[in-house]
Amino acid sequence: MENTPEELSPEDPSQEADQAAAVVEAPESLEELHARLTELQEKADEYLDGWQRARAEFANYKKRVERDQAQVYQSAVGSIAKRYLEVLDDLELALKNRPQSGDGAEWAAGIELIYRKLLNFLEAEGVIQMQADGQAFDPNLHEAISSDETDGIPAGQIIEVLRQGYLLGERVLRPATVRVAR
């Protein structure tokens, strides 16, 4: 007849030994334990390698997504900013012929304020004016309308900026329209 745990007395050492033997299986040989340890270590290394690769792939994916989002944002800003540049050009033309006195001077001051606000808005979005006047002509940044003979100015230097050019970060948003010395 089998004894249940309630029936066993804690003072009986033979019954405790029988219980311990039933719970613990027979120990494996040292070689078997070493082989099992090596196998488990290889699995752990494999899992660690897979985890590290997955983590690196995720970091690369995250960087790629951030870069793509920045490009999409810059592209959207660029397309909107190009429309505002036309308005900016019109304001520049109006300010070139501004009246110096009377009621027109006050009106021109208001127009100049609007011009500066629009320019500040574009600069806040990363759109900056090119400094082309007096620079050497660069076909990547400038669009030459004409070339004129000039005394004292080296060939290839910009004489006059007819329409201001703009950059969005490192990218040319609109090339400057210029006259070049020949």
The confidence score (pLDDT) of residue 97 equals 85
Give yes or no for residue 24 having a pLDDT over 60: no
The confidence score (pLDDT) of residue 169 equals 86
Distance from first CA to last CA of the chain, Å, rounded? 118
The confidence score (pLDDT) of residue 134 equals 86
Lowest mean pLDDT among 39-43, 75-79, 93-97, 139-143: 93-97
pLDDT digits (tens, 9 = 90+) for 83-137: 999 999 999 998 988 888 888 888 888 999 999 999 999 999 999 999 988 899 9
| CB of 169 closer than 8 Å to CB of 146 | no
Per-residue pLDDT, averaged over 157-175, amounts to 93
The confidence score (pLDDT) of residue 128 equals 94
The confidence score (pLDDT) of residue 23 equals 47
The full set of domains in the chain, from first to last, is 129-182 (2.30.22.10)
The confidence score (pLDDT) of residue 16 equals 62
pLDDT digits (tens, 9 = 90+) for 34-73: 999 999 999 999 999 999 999 999 999 999 999 999 999 9
Residue bearing tokens 């120990």: 27
Other C-beta atoms closer than 10 Å to the C-beta of 51 total 10
Spatial distance between the Cα atoms of 122 and 160, rounded to a whole number of angstroms? 23
The confidence score (pLDDT) of residue 151 equals 82
| CB of 165 closer than 8 Å to CB of 81 | no
Residue bearing tokens 């030994």: 17
24 vs 166 pLDDT, higher one: 166
Spatial distance between the Cα atoms of 52 and 50, rounded to a whole number of angstroms? 5
The confidence score (pLDDT) of residue 20 equals 54
Nearest partner of 125 among 73, 62, 52, judged by Cα: 73
> What is the token pair recorded at 90?
């019109």
